[in-house]
Amino acid sequence: MATMKLAAIAVALLLPLVAGVASADEFDFFYLVQQWPGSFCDTQKGCCFPDTGKPAPEFGIHGLWPNYAKCRPAEPELVDDVEMVVDGVPAIGRHHRRQKCWPEYCNDGNQLNPWEIKDLVAELDSHWPTLSCKSGRSMEFWSYEWKKHGTCSGMDQHGYFAAALELKKRHSLAAILADAGIVPSDEESYFLSSIRDAIADATGAVPNLECNRDAFGETQLFQVYQCVDRAGKKLVDCQLPMQGMCRDRAKLPVF
């Protein structure tokens, strides 16, 4: 009887630990996130080109991110006189419950093995380049994205990157916008509704949009979020609202 009680206590103690670990199966859809390089670079921080040189003036992959259809409460945390952000609002106190809207870092031990994606490197250099000044090596960017998001995708390393590349190659966002008269310009601005409608009409799925600010504080289109089914193959309408720092109009700066 004592042994059974000890076993029950051990299981009870382990359950919270297990519950706090993200599962590769616990998501509802993917975001394929592509960023406009002109908007990445045209900020006060600027950008740096990768070792392979200046990327083409095309939207580049930021990541393929598993996401929840509805945010869920994270594990409660005890905090003593430490400022936390709850739903975007700073708060001080104890027992604050954070919101978790996507899984991440599902297997820290599963590091990206460059050998696994060796046949994809040339395509990744073209379609998924880094613009960060921390390092000119895109492999470090891909390794981070794999560790944070890819390990939660339910795919192996090669399958994850191949899926993102295949999704991106189906539609050139820059060409879609150009066909709608939305072209890079340092003077013109465009209605966000026109950008969204052009992408939706061409791809058959409504995207979400994210904006940032240039060095003068003007709004510019930064990233396009395309929603993808759990298999990582089919574009679907994005259902979750996204403010994304956007206003009615945004620029698409020249790159």
Token output for 31:
């975001």
Task: Give the strand pairing for 208-213 and 219-228.
Answer: antiparallel
Give the active site residue among 58, 83, 149, 158.
149
| 24-68+103-250: CATH superfamily | Ribonuclease T2-like (3.90.730.10)
Instruction: Report the largest interatomic distance among the alpha carbons of the chain, rounded to a whole angstrom.
Output: 78
Q: What does the pLDDT read at residue 93?
A: 40
pTM of the model: 0.83
Q: What does the pLDDT read at residue 99?
A: 87
In the chain, beta strands by DSSP E: 29-35, 60-67, 72-73, 83-86, 89-92, 99-100, 190-191, 208-213, 219-228, 235-236, 249-250
Residue 49: CA count within 13 A, CB half-sphere: 10
Return the domain boundaries, the chain: 24-68+103-250, 70-102
Q: What does the pLDDT read at residue 94?
A: 42
Q: What is the CA radius of gyration of the chain?
A: 21
> In the annotation, is 145 catalytic?
yes
Q: What does the pLDDT read at residue 169?
A: 97
Q: What does the pLDDT read at residue 175?
A: 98
Mean pLDDT of successive 10-residue segments in the chain (255 residues)? 45 39 76 98 95 96 97 65 38 56 95 98 98 93 98 98 98 98 97 98 98 96 98 96 92 98
Give the active site residue among 62, 127, 171, 210.
62
> In the annotation, is 127 catalytic?
no
